[in-house]
């Protein structure tokens, strides 16, 4: 169990974030067309997992925009934006913003992902959502970088996440 904060207030997070050097746990999440999308569906690509509570918050929306812009020119890389938002809300946000360099995945049927990736908020007003985290995987699903953001209302370290892909 890890502890982060939400606007300075302590929040418990269950599980452990995969660490650099480990193999990423398999997952199944919900794509925009309500189909199941697995880690194996992205085989052979490098992956940036941008994990956050909801695209309807300013910091989460900013992270989607920044990864959309910054990861665009990195070869053989896909950015997966993962939140509890329904696929319809994710699509609406990205459509309105003109963001087409990221893929949204919902934890709608992804309780196992939330536990296996150590991002389950266990208490406080966001209980049941995911903490803010970034996990970067190579083509073989080995973890290159991971960050559990200590303050949920703050942005992740984009530079550190993307530097392992250059």
Render each residue's pLDDT in the chain as its tens digit; 166 residues.
899 999 999 999 999 999 999 999 999 999 999 999 999 999 999 999 999 999 888 888 888 888 988 887 899 999 999 999 999 888 888 778 777 778 899 999 999 999 999 999 999 999 999 999 999 999 999 999 999 999 999 999 999 999 999 8
Task: Output the domain CATH number for residue 86.
Answer: 3.40.30.10
Question: What is the extent of the structural domain holding 20?
Answer: 2-164
Q: Would you name the residues annotated as active-site residues?
A: 60
Residue 133 is predicted with a pLDDT of 97
Residue 156 is predicted with a pLDDT of 96
**29 CB-near residues (< 8 Å, 6+ apart):** 36, 37, 38, 82, 105, 106, 107, 108, 109, 110, 113
- From CA 73, how far away is CA 136, in angstroms rounded? 16
- Tally the domains of the chain: 1
pTM of the complete model: 0.94
- From CA 100, how far away is CA 71, in angstroms rounded? 11
| C-alpha to C-alpha distances, 117 to 13, 56, 93, 110, 149, nearest whole angstrom | 11, 22, 25, 11, 14
HEC letters along 6-34: ECCEEEEEECCCCCCCCECCCCEEECCCC
């Amino acid at each position: 169990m890890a502890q982060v904060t939400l606007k300075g207030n302590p929040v418990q997070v269950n599980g452990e974030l995969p660490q650099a050097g480990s193999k990423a746990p398999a997952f199944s999440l919900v794509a925009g067309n309500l189909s199941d999308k697995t880690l194996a569906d992205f085989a052979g690509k490098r992956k940036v997992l941008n994990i956050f509570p909801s695209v309807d918050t300013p910091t989460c929306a900013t992270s989607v925009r920044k990864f959309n812009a910054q990861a665009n020119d990195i070869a053989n890389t896909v950015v997966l934006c993962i939140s509890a938002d329904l696929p319809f809300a994710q699509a609406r946000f990205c459509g309105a913003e003109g963001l087409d360099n990221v893929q949204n995945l919902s934890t709608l049927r992804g309780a196992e992902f939330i536990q296996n990736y150590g991002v389950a908020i266990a208490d406080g007003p966001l209980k049941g959502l995911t903490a803010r985290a970034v996990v970067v995987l190579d083509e073989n699903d080995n973890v290159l970088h991971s960050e559990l953001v200590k303050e949920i209302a703050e942005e992740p370290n984009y530079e550190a996440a993307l530097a392992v892909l250059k």
